Structure 1
Amino acid sequence: MVMEDLDGAIPELSWEQFEPYLPPKCVDTLAVKARLELSGAIVDNRWAAYRELDPSKMDGHQDAVFAPLELIVKTIISECLLSSSFDQEQTLELMLNPDQVPICSERKNNSRPDGALRLPGPLYLWNGIGVSKELKKFGGVHVYDNRRQVVWSMHHILRDDPTRRFTFAITTEDTQMRLWFCSRSVMVATKSFNFVTDLEKVIRIYSSFAFATKPELGWDPTIRVVPNTNPTRYDIDVHTDGEDKPVTYRNAQIIWDYGAESLHCRATRVFKTTDPATGAPVAVKDVWRDYDRPSEGANVDMIMGEIDRRGGRFADFKKYFMQVERHGDVRINGQVDDTHQLIMRDTPVPPNHSWLPLIKPSKLVDVAHGDRPMLDGLETTDRTRAQNQQLEVRRRVHYRIVFAHVGTPIYQLPSLKDRCRVLIDSLKGLEALYRLGYLHRDVSTGNILCVRDASNNLIGKLSDLEYIMAIDSDNPARGVRTGTVDFMAVEVDRMAYIFRPQDVEKQDEIKIDPSDVDNWGNYEDEDKETTSEDERKEVEALKEQIRLAFRHNPIHDVESHWWIMAWNLFAHAPTSYLPSPPTANSSVPASESTWHMGDQLVVSNRLFPGTIRAPYRREMFTKEVALDTTVLPAEIQPLVRHLVEAQDKLLSTYKLAEKPPTGIDESLYLRIHSSVIRIFKKIMDSAGDIQVASLSKFQDPEEPTHVSGKRKADAPRTNPPAPKKSKN
């Protein structure tokens, strides 16, 4: 999955292009080099340890071949410390060829890097690795092993450690060394260079890494591990605009972090903690929000303000949204934690870069040790990537928001009736958004929560309002695919209308130039300032084209709720049917022998495959193929007829709404909310006391699964794996 996130290649930069991402230069590299020459560490412009032979020509295992590198780094650090004007403290030390696997704080991981620049200490911890290293004695095909392993290490560091904002790595094959950098926006690497002869680069690299501050190495000083806690707890600072000092929430424990599974994403984590003033339970959400969007807190404040302005019965809608206590961007030493301005030091990835392939080309075969790498295969891959892919680097801002309640995600509720009740409340929140003139655009099982009120009644809440957008907005971004793939409306998945009559289907093919999205904010001013009649007509024609192009509408958000209800019925089974504890090959109790788990898993995996444009989802929803309900347990089968009733209502609404050739009939939006709520109440009333559990934990570990509606994690806790997002 990690390689898929990266599309198999990353930008490859020159040394000069990459150097700004390194920690600041802390020594005069020429002066250190001169002293190393005097000491005999450098001879004939080569490291003395490799004076006679390159690593690939030396006898022995690669552990022995690269052992001198540890001494070289120690010598560089010693020379820095001996300088009379040097007053920086050492942060990292080099460890090569460790004989143990680093200890994980959260997830099990048996991989072992070939080395690391790490924080000193008695324990070898993944959370203490500042720079991961991979080594190979030979080049050629072996470079791909290093690339795969180092990508995995950086991915694991960012997903496992909430205190990490970005990370570095170094790969070495024979004499060729390469630096890597990874944040929540981008992964890049340098072109390879000869570490045996490019002495100043080696001195610059290891001196900077060894003496950099922890924030310069990617650690976050605003979230700190509480010592001697298991599971790990954290003290978290939340800074609000207008306040001089942040508020610290202590002993926070992670309750959801599968939003951090992907490399380049919002990396959402949710912590349970207490309000320092009242002691009441609260939730802190840590996320890398999109730079060009309003924050979730700002959107919630806007929606709550609109509800207050309308007053009356409308005020009752407030209970269907999470109440915000405070929110703000994370600040590191007084600066906003921004992937571009702070982390990448305001140095964007240059457009004239080449591409570094991460996956071995099919034509590249293993070569004899010491032979020249098959560069033709690499160069062909680089050219193909450069020609066919446009790099998109999303600028993100580190952000935290505190909610007044600790919500429970719908997927953690054992009662099917409670799940239905929470879905119905979420639809009421969605109705409120529609009445206020907004779309949600990101409905998923992770964004539908529930809390208990003062009377212990369960209330569903629609959360994660970062991607809301005005229904009447002509912003082309409204036509961008957003959401969680398994719960995405089929039209949003396809990015086209599929229920329109044949004579207007050609409008599906209308495309908007990406530059129009970037410049949309200037269109209003353009109208005012344009003097040419032709230019005015051009702007109006573009607006008409955008209006007819595919756009997310409120019916799509309702359909996402339908998919979640289908997920409750098809990706779960009554607990009475399921063995405990779960194993992949567990047998079903004899009393339920007419039901076959494997048959239901086949259908569930087709409905919720975790990938976009899955044909079966569209064919089933549009009734081109029949939905097989015979695979379901006997107690669940009667409920599906109500699910089909809601499906029919959605289909008829789509066909009516999309019939006008000049756009969408918006008068039908409100009716679909109330219709689906009414039908979901039938399912709730028929659910009885059925307790359900996800089938994902029973999936054969050798087979991929998305039956939870979420991406399978390597070693999940009790909550299911992460939803695969699509926000392109």
Structure 2
Amino acid sequence: MALGSQWDLPSEGHVPDWVWRVLCVPALNDDSPIPRRIHSRTVFEDVGVALKDMTSLANIICCLKDTLKALYYMHKVGWVHRDVSVGNILWVTDGNQGTGKLADFEYARCIRSNKFHEVQTGTPHFMAVEVDSKIYLFEPDNDEGEGECPPFRMNGLHDIESVWWTSTWVLFYYTDQNHPTVDLVNQWNTLQAIFPGVLGRTSRQHFFTYFKLSRCKAITKTCEPVSKFLGEFAGHLRNAYRSAEESYPIIKLEGILEGIHRETAKNLINVHKQYVHGDASNVILCPLHRFLPRKRSNSEVQTSQTRQQKRRC
């Protein structure tokens, strides 16, 4: 709204108090469940490409490896990112070398912060399933504790799970440009089920809980090393959650977060070697939907029918 067009206001300088009373803009108090929105601009010296726009599978894996390293340093000093996604990871090149960089820290928060919010933060596609449901899903199945449980809060494991969802999105959204998936429709349907774009879908939790290589028969053969890695990654994450939550309501991350970082980084390095030096090198990805059969529009169907009628005449 252009205030100057409705009231006689100066284009710069002090805004009179009566203006704020007329606008009636309520201020958020500290107890509000809605987080304050902050407009921030971060200027990078580097120019990068978002991971969602990359096509080299080797570079994508390297980018994910560097992202995990950035999260490791964040977690080491007691912070969580809370919004890891394919749009917040950048690939920055300098000559023939490339580096993955984590961006968009507006939702980052100190783990030791005492503030809790009921509103989820992050991108739904890449949100950890516990963050999606706002409850701890891997705590022991017993009802011994009758006291009031503390509110749910994010921790470093949820950031790492977002890396897993990011990797999974790449695996299902793309296919090998030169060796496309045999069962394109199967892969597309799986993509739609696990990335519905809305919160609260049980399909995401089910997929993460039971992810195995044998369940990914739709994936092209050249991407099988990534499928195997994601299966192991999901298994390590589930075990880490169970270990961290076995003493719930106390969440113990000491040693567990370090271990999952170390194990995942090692496995990513091994996968990256296969796509740089192995038989699967030089794999170029292409969006899956480009290979799907295109449905004809009504106008195209009518035009086709008209042509057939003319031929009969």
Q: TM-score, normalising length from structure 1?
A: 0.36
- 2:111 counterpart of 1:471: yes
Given that 1:441 and 1:467 are in contact with CA atoms closer than 8 Å, whether structure 2 keeps it comes out as: yes
Partner of 1:448: 89
Q: Aligned AA for 1:407? A: G
Partner of 1:405: 46
Would you tell me which structure has more helix in proportion to its own residues?
A: 2
Partner of 2:79: 438
Deviation at 1:662, TM superposition (A): 4.0
Residue aligned with 1:403, SS:
coil
- 2:277 counterpart of 1:689: no
Q: Aligned AA for 2:142? A: D
The C-alpha deviation readout for 1:482-510, integer Å capped at 9, x for no partner, is 11111111100111000000126978x96
Deviation at 1:466, TM superposition (A): 1.1
Deviation at 1:646, TM superposition (A): 0.8
> Do the aligned partners of residues 658 and 342 (structure 1) sit closer, same or farther apart at CA in structure 2, a change above 3 Å counting?
farther
> Do the aligned partners of residues 627 and 475 (structure 1) sit closer, same or farther apart at CA in structure 2, a change above 3 Å counting?
farther
Match of 2:12 among 323, 326, 333: 333
Would you tell me which structure has more strand in proportion to its own residues?
A: 1
Partner of 1:670: 258
Q: State how far apart, in whole Å, the 1-side matches of 2:242 and 2:184 are.
A: 36
The C-alpha deviation readout for 1:281-309, integer Å capped at 9, x for no partner, is xxxxxxxxxxxxxxxxxxxxxxxxxxxxx
Deviation at 1:396, TM superposition (A): 4.4
Q: State how far apart, in whole Å, the 1-side matches of 2:170 and 2:131 are.
A: 21
Residue aligned with 2:99, SS:
strand
Deviation at 1:456, TM superposition (A): 3.4
Deviation at 1:342, TM superposition (A): 8.4
> Do the aligned partners of residues 613 and 683 (structure 1) sit closer, same or farther apart at CA in structure 2, a change above 3 Å counting?
farther
Matches within 5 A, 1:530-679: 548-577=150-179, 595-623=182-210, 628-667=215-254, 668-679=256-267
Given that 1:642 and 1:679 are in contact with CA atoms closer than 8 Å, whether structure 2 keeps it comes out as: yes
Deviation at 1:24, TM superposition (A): 1.8
Q: State how far apart, in whole Å, the 2-side matches of 1:461 and 1:344 are.
A: 44
Q: Aligned AA for 2:115? A: N
Partner of 1:488: 127
Given that 1:497 and 1:505 are in contact with CA atoms closer than 8 Å, whether structure 2 keeps it comes out as: no
The C-alpha deviation readout for 1:388-446, integer Å capped at 9, x for no partner, is xxx99876454433221112111111111100000010100000001111011111111
Q: Aligned AA for 1:347? A: C
Q: State how far apart, in whole Å, the 2-side matches of 1:505 and 1:413 are.
A: 49
The C-alpha deviation readout for 1:609-645, integer Å capped at 9, x for no partner, is 1111111110121128997311111222343122101
> Do the aligned partners of residues 624 and 415 (structure 1) sit closer, same or farther apart at CA in structure 2, a change above 3 Å counting?
closer
Deviation at 1:597, TM superposition (A): 1.4
Partner of 1:497: 136
Given that 1:440 and 1:467 are in contact with CA atoms closer than 8 Å, whether structure 2 keeps it comes out as: yes
Q: Aligned AA for 1:680? A: L
Residue aligned with 1:670, SS:
helix
Q: Aligned AA for 1:669? A: L
Residue aligned with 1:475, SS:
coil
> Do the aligned partners of residues 638 and 468 (structure 1) sit closer, same or farther apart at CA in structure 2, a change above 3 Å counting?
closer
> Do the aligned partners of residues 672 and 335 (structure 1) sit closer, same or farther apart at CA in structure 2, a change above 3 Å counting?
farther
> Do the aligned partners of residues 402 and 644 (structure 1) sit closer, same or farther apart at CA in structure 2, a change above 3 Å counting?
same
Deviation at 1:474, TM superposition (A): 2.1
Partner of 1:457: 97
Q: Aligned AA for 2:99? A: I
Matches within 5 A, 1:53-132: none
Given that 1:335 and 1:342 are in contact with CA atoms closer than 8 Å, whether structure 2 keeps it comes out as: no
Q: State how far apart, in whole Å, the 2-side matches of 1:396 and 1:654 are.
A: 31
Identify the structure with bigger relative contact order (alpha carbons < 8 Å, sequence gap 6+).
2
Partner of 1:348: 25
> Do the aligned partners of residues 696 and 504 (structure 1) sit closer, same or farther apart at CA in structure 2, a change above 3 Å counting?
farther
Matches within 5 A, 1:338-377: 346-348=23-25
Given that 1:630 and 1:637 are in contact with CA atoms closer than 8 Å, whether structure 2 keeps it comes out as: no
Residue aligned with 1:502, SS:
coil
| 5+ residue gaps, structure 2 | 276-280, 296-313
> Do the aligned partners of residues 393 and 434 (structure 1) sit closer, same or farther apart at CA in structure 2, a change above 3 Å counting?
closer
Q: Aligned AA for 1:631? A: A
Residue aligned with 1:573, SS:
strand
Given that 2:49 and 2:92 are in contact with CA atoms closer than 8 Å, whether structure 1 keeps it comes out as: yes
Given that 2:33 and 2:119 are in contact with CA atoms closer than 8 Å, whether structure 1 keeps it comes out as: no
Matches within 5 A, 1:185-196: none
Q: State how far apart, in whole Å, the 1-side matches of 2:159 and 2:144 are.
A: 22
The C-alpha deviation readout for 1:140-165, integer Å capped at 9, x for no partner, is xxxxxxxxxxxxxxxxxxxxxxxxxx
Given that 2:213 and 2:228 are in contact with CA atoms closer than 8 Å, whether structure 1 keeps it comes out as: no
Q: State how far apart, in whole Å, the 2-side matches of 1:495 and 1:643 are.
A: 24
Deviation at 1:348, TM superposition (A): 2.3
- 2:6 counterpart of 1:24: yes
Residue aligned with 1:665, SS:
coil
Partner of 2:303: none
Given that 2:187 and 2:219 are in contact with CA atoms closer than 8 Å, whether structure 1 keeps it comes out as: yes
Deviation at 1:602, TM superposition (A): 0.6
Q: Aligned AA for 2:202? A: P
The C-alpha deviation readout for 1:519-555, integer Å capped at 9, x for no partner, is xxxxxxxxxxxxxxxxxxxxxxxxxx5xx32110100
Q: State how far apart, in whole Å, the 1-side matches of 2:80 and 2:292 are.
A: 35
The C-alpha deviation readout for 1:322-357, integer Å capped at 9, x for no partner, is xxxxxxxxxx73579xxxx9899642279xxxxxxx
Given that 1:574 and 1:693 are in contact with CA atoms closer than 8 Å, whether structure 2 keeps it comes out as: yes
Deviation at 1:670, TM superposition (A): 1.6
Q: State how far apart, in whole Å, the 1-side matches of 2:219 and 2:12 are.
A: 56
Deviation at 1:480, TM superposition (A): 4.1
Residue aligned with 1:666, SS:
coil
Partner of 1:294: none
Over aligned residue pairs, what C-alpha RMSD do you find?
3.5
Given that 2:213 and 2:227 are in contact with CA atoms closer than 8 Å, whether structure 1 keeps it comes out as: no
| 5+ residue gaps, structure 1 | 1-18, 27-212, 217-331, 351-390, 511-544, 579-591, 703-728
- 2:229 counterpart of 1:680: no
Q: TM-score, normalising length from structure 2?
A: 0.78
Given that 2:40 and 2:106 are in contact with CA atoms closer than 8 Å, whether structure 1 keeps it comes out as: no
Q: Equivalent pairs: percent with the same residue? A: 30
